[in-house]
Amino acid sequence: MAAHGDRAGGRGDGGGGGPLSSPRLRHGTPERAGLDADLLAGLVRDVRLLSEGFRPWCSGAVMLAGRGPVIAAEAVCGWAVRYAGYDAAADRGVELPPAARVPMTLDTPFDLASLTKLFTSIAAVQQIERGTLGIDAKVGAYVPEFTAAARHGITVRQLLTHTSGLRPELPLFDAPDLPARLALLRAEAPSSAPGTYLYSDLNMLLLQHVLERLTGRPLDALIREGITRPLGMTATSYGPRTGAAATEDQRRPWGKADRGMLRGEVHDENAWALGGVAGHAGLFAPAHDLAVLCRTLLNGGSYGTARILGPDFVDLMLTAPGLGFRIDQPSFMGELAGHGAAGHTGFTGTSLVLDPTTDTFLVLLANTVHPRRRPADSTPRASAATRLARAVVPLGSL
């Protein structure tokens, strides 16, 4: 199908600010951003094809890319809602009639899945900057009822760098109620020696409880008051969300719960079982809001007149091994990786990459699990990032 609102370059709507403010995002031409127009046009064409074919990579996608304060390319393709369900016998989606489908738009909110971890990490580093949270403090000092973490001396830094040794996930959704789910989390001991890298959702769940105990505020309020509201990211929030891109016809045995077709309800089963607000998943956002977050971090923690972190603490997050962020991962960063690019992916098909060296950013959001989850494939993400990397015009040539 044709894309809705694709462009490389585009309208010039605002931006900038006074001498005490950092530049805000604005739309502009690739040339103004210091990017090659032909290569960006190729990036747009690639994104438009992601929802095509018999087994497309995704039902629909939205992409924003730019350099400095300029959004130089954006594209949207496919459908926010394409399927009524999944037919396990035929191993294919049950397509809605064309009139009942919902087209993807630039403003469609997505279930961010693990991109939520970035917001939890920023909220933690904000407390570290204020001196209220010690980066090498023991988790047990803040939440002693998490007895296994306390007994093994897990630290805040280990949670932020996925070196706590906790296993990747824990089936909290199988416990009968919230108290039983929290009891499982509190008793969970590391499966490998602390200090060893092992990516785990449990790190951000523990960090959520540390932050909530420390501040006396729920995580959704901390993210709203400390990140999204000051940055004007008004479309970013925890669910439920109306108008969101659909995710999965979630049923056993491929899913971990029988919930049916999901739209606007968090896809992650543990986040759902914990009430929808979790440190590792649960946020919804459109692409532009995530571009604002990228721009803020590339600006050293400031956007317009708002400051959410100081430059030194942004550097701490974005310097290997990274705090919350993954650094130089060619599997989804393509040729942007190699000199300090930072980013993350989400299980539902979401991703973002920002590269401080070239001052570029790429947001690619897709509903790859609609109508059901498949083995992860980051090839289109890496290809898009490589397109952007090759489009960078050396500063001396501008």
Rounded mean pLDDT, 245-251: 98
pLDDT of residue 165: 97
pLDDT of residue 340: 97
pLDDT of residue 3: 40
- pTM score above 0.85: yes
pLDDT in tens, 199-226: 999 999 999 999 999 999 999 999 999 9
pLDDT of residue 159: 98
Residue at 313: amino acid letter: F
Q: How confident is the model at residue 252 (pLDDT cuts 50, 70, 90)?
A: very high
pLDDT of residue 395: 74
Q: How confident is the model at residue 11 (pLDDT cuts 50, 70, 90)?
A: very low
pLDDT of residue 22: 86
CB neighbour burial string for 47-62, b if at least 16 within 10 angstroms, e if fewer: bbebbeeeebbbbbbb
Q: Which two tokens stand for residue 346?
A: 């989400």
pLDDT in tens, 52-109: 988 899 999 999 999 999 999 999 999 999 999 999 999 999 999 999 999 999 999 9
- The structural architecture, per CATH, of the domain 112-283+302-328 is 3-Layer(aba) Sandwich (3.40)
Q: According to CATH, where is 3.40.710.10 located in the chain? A: 112-283+302-328
